[in-house]
Amino acid sequence: MHKVCSEEALSALLQSSPAVLLLYGGANCGVCQAIKPRLETLASEEFPKLVTAYIDCQEAAGPLCAARGIFSLPVVQLWFDGQRFAEFARVFSIGDVRAALERPYGLMTQK
């Protein structure tokens, strides 16, 4: 999972990758730390072309999170072709993320 700490790095990642999963989390967020490896496994096993990135809102990326309107953790965003497709905040399951990924990812891989 890539670590993103600045708006510039995030913009570059979103422009260069057709499919991105962003996890906004924090070192002191137990749920964030628990779902991070599960999201990595989901991406590597079921969606291998999906780029995953982690943004630590409690560390250096605090200003980035505030600028993006992230005020509660965890938040997962799915981006396709530079556009935000889905967002999950606080209470969600890995199954919710998987279901949201299936159709757009399938269309992307057919290109």
Q: What is the mean pLDDT of each run of 10 residues along the chain (111 residues)?
A: 94 96 95 96 96 93 90 96 95 96 90 63
Please give the pLDDT value at position 110. Answer: 82
Bond from prior residue into 18 cis (ω within 30 degrees of 0): no
pTM to 2 decimals?
A: 0.93
In the chain the domains, ranked by start, together with CATH numbers, are 2-109 (3.40.30.10)
Report the distance separating Cα 49 and Cα 57, nearest Å.
Answer: 25
- Main-chain phi, psi angles of 75, to 5 degrees: -130, 135
Please give the pLDDT value at position 46. Answer: 96
Strands (E), the chain: 2-3, 19-25, 51-56, 75-80, 83-89
Crossing angle for the helix pair 30-46 and 94-110, to the nearest 10 degrees: 30
